[in-house]
Amino acid sequence: MDAMATPAMPDFAAWSRGVQSRMETALARVLPDAAIAPETLHAAMRYATLGGGKRIRPMLAFAAGEAVGADPARVEYAACAVELIHVYSLTHDDLPCMDDDDLRRGKPTCHVQFDEATALLVGDALQSLAFEVLADPAACSDAATQVAMLAHLALASGSRGMAGGQAADLAATGKSLELTELEFMHIHKTGALIQAAVLLGAMAGGALSASGRACLERYAHCVGLAFQVMDDVLDTETDTATLGKTAGKDAAQGKATYLTQMSAKEARTYARELIDDALAAITMFGAAGQRLADIARFIIDRRY
């Protein structure tokens, strides 16, 4: 923990628990009840989504909303939508034809707890639900901005965003990548949705100024990369029980990571430089950008 981060941390810890608690309630509300047919699918959607997760993307959405003065009641829709896309991607990534993982957030993965066909449909239906939630009339005060939010989430999720990054990741397995190729993959696989969390959280308050948008994009770009760098460090240095998912899996599967490019010490230094860039990008928001700054610092200080 660095000297700058220390004063804000206790307050941030309480704030982040507040977001996690709020998200649990909000997600439980937008997910169909397990008593509604088809019951197994709804139970599996709730299993995959509720009761765990760091909720980093919702935190980013609420923090970005705070930076521009958006109503948190509106931001909540964007936060749910982005988290539902994230959970769908985890559910599909864990399938046998992809990463074939059996542990996620400390629980059996969805296809282990239910079956493959159900896990496939869970991911499909969670993606639909994300757009349904973001298309709620209450998600933004301005319909034209809301259409732009929906377009942005779709672009960030699809073949030129997250799904494209996943395809690039699969194609790269067992190959050595240049650092630029590795970053291209991460900018798509995790960066696109992190950027969507930040931008949609802010757009919930209405159309963004060009300068506000540019600053938030820069922040999101740096935070997204730093998050991935630290994920690779933690995947190597942390045990499975602490992570809540299988540790050391990337290296075992021959996947390119930052630690095939640099030492863990160099990776931590690189992550810190990225976070400094992220913090510089949000100075225009002044004190309102405090939560964005807190999250940036949390990303390099986290243990799991």
Take residue 175 and report the two structure tokens written for it.
Answer: 């190959």
Q: Look at residues 163, 170, 172, 193 and name the one whose alpha carbon lies nearest to residue 261.
A: 172
Give the shortest CB-98-to-a copy of itself separation in angstroms: 5
- Nearer residue to a copy of itself within complex by CB, 157 or 257: 157
Rounded Cα–Cα distance for residues 62 and 64 (Å): 6
CB 296 within 8 A of CB 229: no
Phi, psi of 107 (to 5 degrees): -125, 160
| Residue located via tokens 């008593």 | 35
Helix (H, G, I), strand (E, B) or coil at 254: coil
- Nearer residue to a copy of itself within complex by CB, 203 or 230: 203
252 binds a copy of itself (CB under 8 A): no
Give the shortest CB-119-to-a copy of itself separation in angstroms: 8
Give the shortest CB-34-to-a copy of itself separation in angstroms: 11
Of the residues 2, 11, 116, 273, which one makes contact with a copy of itself according to CB under 8 A: 116
45 binds a copy of itself (CB under 8 A): yes
Residue range at the interface with a copy of itself (CB under 8 A); choices 133-141, 195-203, 221-229, 277-285: 133-141
Rounded Cα–Cα distance for residues 230 and 304 (Å): 9
Give the shortest CB-176-to-a copy of itself separation in angstroms: 18
120 binds a copy of itself (CB under 8 A): yes
- Nearer residue to a copy of itself within complex by CB, 4 or 36: 36
Residue range at the interface with a copy of itself (CB under 8 A); choices 152-160, 226-234, 263-271, 276-284: 152-160
| Residue located via tokens 């009761």 | 51
178 binds a copy of itself (CB under 8 A): no
132 binds a copy of itself (CB under 8 A): yes
- 154-173 mask for a copy of itself (x: CB under 8 A)? xx-xxxxx-xx-xxx-xx--
Using CA atoms of 198, 89, 55, 229 in order, give the dihedral in degrees to the nearest 10.
-70
Rounded Cα–Cα distance for residues 252 and 247 (Å): 9
50, HSE (Cβ side, Cα atoms, 13 Å) = 18
Cα separations in angstroms, 84 against 23, 30, 49, 133, 179:
11, 10, 7, 9, 30
Rounded Cα–Cα distance for residues 278 and 11 (Å): 20
Of the residues 49, 146, 190, 261, which one makes contact with a copy of itself according to CB under 8 A: 146
Instruction: Point out which residues bind a copy of itself (CB under 8 A).
Output: 32, 36-38, 40-42, 45, 88-89, 92, 95, 97-98, 115-118, 120-121, 123-125, 127-132, 135-137, 143-144, 146-148, 150-151, 153-155, 157-161, 163-164, 166-168, 170-171, 184
